[in-house]
Structure 1
Amino acid sequence: MISSNFEKAFKAGVAVFLSIVIGGFLHINSLFYAAIAAVITLQTKVVDTIKAGQNRVFGTIVGAIIGMCFAIIGQGNAVLCGLGIFLTVLSCQKFGYDKSINIACIVFIAIMINLYEDITPFYYSVYRLKDTLVGIITAIIVDYLIFPKKDQKFN
Structure 2
Amino acid sequence: MKIIPFNIGLRTIKTAIAVSVSIILSNLLNLEFPYFVAMTAIISMDRTARLSISMGRNRVIGTFLGALIGILFATIDRGNPFLAGLGILIIILISNQLKLPGSITVGSFVFVAIMVHISDDITPFFYGLHRTLDSLFGALIAFVINLSVMPGYSVKRLDEKLNKFYPELIQTLNHVDTVSFDQFKMIYKTYNDYLEEALLYKDDVISKSCHAILNSHLVELLKYELPLKKLEIFLTSSDPNLKLILRNQIIQTL
TM over 0.5: yes
In the alignment, the residues of structure 2 paired with residue 48 and residue 142 of structure 1 have an alpha-carbon distance, to the nearest angstrom, of 13
Matched residue type, 1:153? D
Task: Confirm or deny that 1:153 pairs with 2:203.
Answer: yes
State the shift of 1:135 in Å: 1.2
Paired residue for 1:105? 108
Contact map agreement 1:33 1:128 (CA 8 A) in 2: yes
- 1:24 paired with 2:27, answer yes
Aligned CA-pair RMSD: 1.8
User: 1:102-144: per-residue Cα shift (whole Å, max 9, x none)?
Assistant: 2211111121122122111101101111222221110111011
Measure how far apart 1:4 and its partner are: 7.7
Larger Rg: 2
Does 1:128 find its partner at 2:178?
A: no
Look up the match of 1:140.
143
Q: Does 1:82 align with 2:85?
A: yes
- Give a deviation string over 1:28-71, Cα, whole Å, max 9, x none: 22001111111111111221111101111111111110011111
For 1:122, the aligned partner's letter is F
The answer to whether the 8 Å contact 1:28/1:130 transfers is no
Residue identity opposite 1:27 in structure 2: N
SS across alignment from 1:27: coil
User: Secondary structure at the residue paired with 1:5?
Assistant: coil
Change (3 A) 1:26 1:152: farther
1:70 matched to 2:65: no
The structure, 1 or 2, with the larger RCO (C-alpha pairs under 8 Å, 6+ apart) is 1
**Residue segments in structure 1 that go unaligned for 5+ positions in a row:** none
Contact 1:22–1:134 (Cα < 8 Å) also in 2: no
**Could you tell me how far apart the structure 2 residues matched to 1:46 and 1:153 are?**
10
